[in-house]
Amino acid sequence: MSLERGSHFGPYEVVSRIGTGGMGEVYRARDPRLDRDVALKVLPGDLAGDRERLVRFEREARAASALNHPNIITIYEIGVANGVSYIAMEFVDGWTLRDMMAEGPLEQKRMTELAVQIADGLAKAHAAGIVHRDLKPANVMVTRDGFAKILDFGLARRAPRDNSQSVLPTVTLETEPGTVFGTVGYMSPEQATAKPVDFRSDQFSFGAILYEMATGQRAFDRPSSLETMMAILKEDPKPPSEVNPAIPERLNAIITRCLAKDPKDRYWTTKNLASDLKELASGVQSAPIAQPPPRRSRPTRAGLVTVVAALLVAGAAAFFLTRSGGGAIDSLAVLPFETTSPEPDAAYLGQGIADNLIQRLSSLPNLRVISRSSVSRYRGQAVDPQKAARELKVRAVLTGTVVQRGDRLNVTAELVDARRNAHLWGKQYERRFDDILTLQEEISRDVSAELRPQRAPEKAPVANRGATTVADAYRSYLKGRYHWNKRTEADARRAIAYFQEAIERDPSYADAYDGLCDAWTTLGWYGFVPPTEAYPRAQAAARKAIEIDETVAEAHASLGGIELWFGWNWSVAEREFARTLELDPNYAPGRHWHADLFSIRGRHDEAIAESRKALELDPLSLIINTWLARRYYFARRLEDAERECRRALELDPNFPPARWQLGSVLVAQGKLKEAMAEFETAVRLSNDAPRYLGYLGNARARAGNAPGARTILQQLDRLEAGGRYVSALDRAIVQRGLGDDKRALDSIEKAFEDRPSLMPYLAIDPVWEGLRGNPRFQAVLAKLKLG
């Protein structure tokens, strides 16, 4: 059908005809409802009864509408008007890339700018599991403002789920509308030979576009479509830099890698391709890109000897590079896998898979693996592996993406040597969700084989015996850990529900009991609920985990912490921490809590040393950084304590415990005005946490503001009356600041009833100076076995 200018089509007013393609006619139209121009793609009337065309037409709308990216055309709606199907999409005022290249290669700066934008758009589609399959210059628009837009997702498909789902192209000339599945000249070898395609097929097509943008010539330009197809399959194009000597070597390498015949020789993720192009555009030069070997005809016997000799030399060089000159990979960070799933509540997957790999890879010999709390700070961010490696002080970084669609998982993992900016390994995995446990085991085994190739067969990562084989239980466990990591009261309660759900699905799931322990401990330690309610439940869960599997290091650490803060049983806590570090010396929280025991027992040098070991394993952990400052504070090394507090606040200025600790240090230094400002910030950030209010009241009283301190006591009363848990120790701190030692001691003695988490620090916290000579205070310390 043909639409006349000024006519109405559904809610749209036709402005002009833009063009015709295999998938329909395109018009510029006006949407009076929103007062904007749109592009209308209309399925021609003679094709409306063609079922395949209609499916492809609707597929384009679904594929593009699932994406939201500035370099992908925006779909507004799909509909039917007058019995005709249409897609309303963003109107792009500009030119196609084909038009822009009509007079030769693009100027380099302009070319790299557009290349980065196209790669970013492709990376977004690929992360969502969408493969374009018909990327070519005519399907890229450039606006008058210079923004590239990928369009025409009519051939787009979700990435195949298994090797049985191949894509069968019908190959004809580009100019024959309605029959092309992919375009000759830009089609990948695997697409041309009816093999399954994934995101790397689009990389090949993009490489052909880059070649043309850089040289002004098509990479596989032959007289006929058949000869073009044969060239794609059998021949390497002339190196771009030979066609255009002005092309930088780095761009030459990028194009060559994209045009590799074997998909395995292209980029492991399109995100990495976009990253290389961004470095090129910014003028940053790093290590050369590894180029795939050219595909040549069958070598002669002499050629084979040469190749084998070269491989032996290269293998020996690689061995000595990683074992000597380059140094063995001795430290690793597993970053949260990027989750790009349409499934609701799927964010837990990326963090959960990373946590599992951290746990498994920590068992490799002579490998320091960064703990989960440091790497969790990168969740939801676009992370440069080299930058993350510098911040975490590691040699290698493992990154990945995970896409869940229904009961299917698509996981891509990549290992990078950050020191040499070298890609070490990468692989894509496709499995059913029910196979997620074996999938993680396979990934950890593959990574360990790269990190420790000579030991991989007999020293593979130790399987977690506290784990489960029930996929639904594991799913609930991952969701529990995801919420527990947020450390809020609401999330801790949600975590408890998920851990209990996991236990119901697998009553012998030790890790789920340990998670339940951690969630209850969080509620008790932060004073969200009375410790007498939280800690016994946490203790029961930890003991059940150990009963099921005595080798769960995390459960021993959790039990040690409970004995420390609630049981006040120092010898049992010491035994549990020792067992923790025997099972897993790389478990940072175990060392962190062990340091707490040293502090409480007055062994400050050992506490500081153990905290520093924990920090090496978890350098970006806010709580470990903050508590290293607390170790110095307890040791009366106040300048060191202040320095560490400020370092923690550089990581996150909105972390309430760091504000609280800095305020405590400033009080000990006599800087009361500055201290009050820190406590007030902690109170505001924590939604009036009673613990921080107590310290604020103490500082006000010390500064001579007794009415302000008494106002804090009244506020604590109101909070308690409103249902908030308020420890007697929170009131005692204010009363001590007011010099009301009798009431302060009454409150401290009353605190034995609910056993608040700060009781064990009575002997060492400077805030209690002045009371320590009092016989009643000494009796309290004796009861705690701290005297």
Active site residues: 134
Please tell me the distance from the alpha carbon of residue 30 to that of residue 380, in angstroms, as a whole number: 38
In three-state secondary structure terms, 85 is: strand
Please tell me the distance from the alpha carbon of residue 264 to that of residue 11, in angstroms, as a whole number: 48
Q: What is the CA radius of gyration of the chain?
A: 32
The pairing of strands 157-158 and 140-143 is: unpaired
Q: For the residues of 522-573, what is the DSSP string, one character each?
A: HHHHTTSS-HHHHHHHHHHHHHHHHHH-TT-HHHHHHHHHHIIIII--HHHH
**Amino acid symbol at 209:** I
| Ramachandran bin of 383, using left for φ above 0, alpha for ψ from -120 to 50, beta for the remaining angles | beta
DSSP, res 72: B
The pairing of strands 94-96 and 148-150 is: unpaired
DSSP, res 760: G
Cα 655 from chain centre: 21
Please tell me the distance from the alpha carbon of residue 379 to that of residue 279, in angstroms, as a whole number: 23
Secondary structure (H, E, C), 203-271: HHHHHHHHHHHHHCCCCCCCCCHHHHHHHHHHCCCCCHHHHCCCCCHHHHHHHHHHCCCCHHHCCCCHH
Please tell me the distance from the alpha carbon of residue 622 to that of residue 610, in angstroms, as a whole number: 16
Residue linked to tokens 């932060």: 526
For Cα atoms 148, 151, 156, give the angle at the middle one, nearest 5 degrees. Answer: 135
Please tell me the distance from the alpha carbon of residue 30 to that of residue 13, in angstroms, as a whole number: 5
DSSP, res 45: G
Residue linked to tokens 């969701």: 479
Q: For the residues of 290-358, what is the DSSP string, one character each?
A: PPPPPP-SPPPHHHHHHHHHHHHHHHHHHHHIIIIIS----EEEEPPPEE--SSTT-THHHHHHHHHHH
Please tell me the distance from the alpha carbon of residue 751 to that of residue 254, in angstroms, as a whole number: 67
Please tell me the distance from the alpha carbon of residue 308 to that of residue 315, in angstroms, as a whole number: 10
Please tell me the distance from the alpha carbon of residue 701 to that of residue 738, in angstroms, as a whole number: 5
Q: Are 556 and 579 in contact (CB under 8 A)?
A: yes
Q: Are 61 and 154 in contact (CB under 8 A)?
A: no
Sheet holding 140-143, edge to edge: 94-96, 140-143, 148-150
Please tell me the distance from the alpha carbon of residue 59 to that of residue 291, in angstroms, as a whole number: 35
DSSP, res 288: P
For Cα atoms 182, 185, 191, give the angle at the middle one, nearest 5 degrees. Answer: 40
Tell me the CA distances in angstroms from 568 to 604, 777, 784, one per residue in order.
Answer: 18, 17, 7
Q: How far apart are the first and last CA of the chain?
A: 94
Please tell me the distance from the alpha carbon of residue 337 to that of residue 411, in angstroms, as a whole number: 9
Tell me the CA distances in angstroms from 450 to 265, 318, 666, one per residue in order.
Answer: 18, 12, 49
Angle of helix 638-651 relative to helix 622-634, nearest 10 degrees, comes to 170
